Amino acid sequence: QVQLTESGGGFVPVGGSTRLSCAASGVGFSDVVGWFRQAPGKDREFVATISWTGVITDYADSVKGRFTISRDIKNSVDLQMNSLKPEDTGVYSCARGSFSRSPATSDYWGQGTQVTVSS
């Protein structure tokens, strides 16, 4: 049974940083874990993905160079978010899926955590 639990987030000033963590259990060696976000009134969108081995990563163009996804030895997938912008505001969820960037290919999801970027 795959279980994913997010932590971190909250209120962050424009230009600030925060770190999200996704505690994962039941994830296999060949799996892929990603972060997605959903802003109010918008569809859920891809943010970043990492192979469970930590070797392969992928980022949305909107976060490339500002966000870093990593796999921790404690079986968590972290998302370091720097130079935050108001448009980064949303509910961030981690999920087991694929490198397709589509939320539809993810089968297990965490409950999500709110990130609000404001001045």
Q: Provide the pairing of β-strand 113-118 with 10-13.
A: parallel
Q: Is pLDDT above 90 for 84?
A: yes
Contact (Cβ atoms closer than 8 angstroms) between residue 9 and residue 112? no
Q: What pLDDT was estimated at residue 23? A: 97
Q: In whole angstroms, give the CA distance from residue 35 to residue 13.
A: 21
pLDDT at 6: 97
Cβ-defined contacts of 59-62 (< 8 Å, 24+) = 60/101, 62/87
Q: Is the pLDDT of residue 112 over 90?
A: yes
Q: What is the pLDDT of residue 26?
A: 94
Both tokens assigned to 25: 């259990």
Q: Residues 119, 54: contact at Cβ < 8 Å?
A: no
Q: Given pLDDT bands bounded at 50, 70 and 90, which one contains residue 74?
A: confident
pLDDT in tens, 26-59: 999 999 999 999 999 999 999 999 999 999 999 9
> What value does the CA radius of gyration of the chain take, rounded to a whole number of Å?
13
Mean pLDDT of 3-17: 97
Q: What is the dihedral of CA 78, 40, 116, 34, to 10 degrees?
A: 10
- Per-residue pLDDT band for 73 (boundaries 50, 70, 90) equals confident
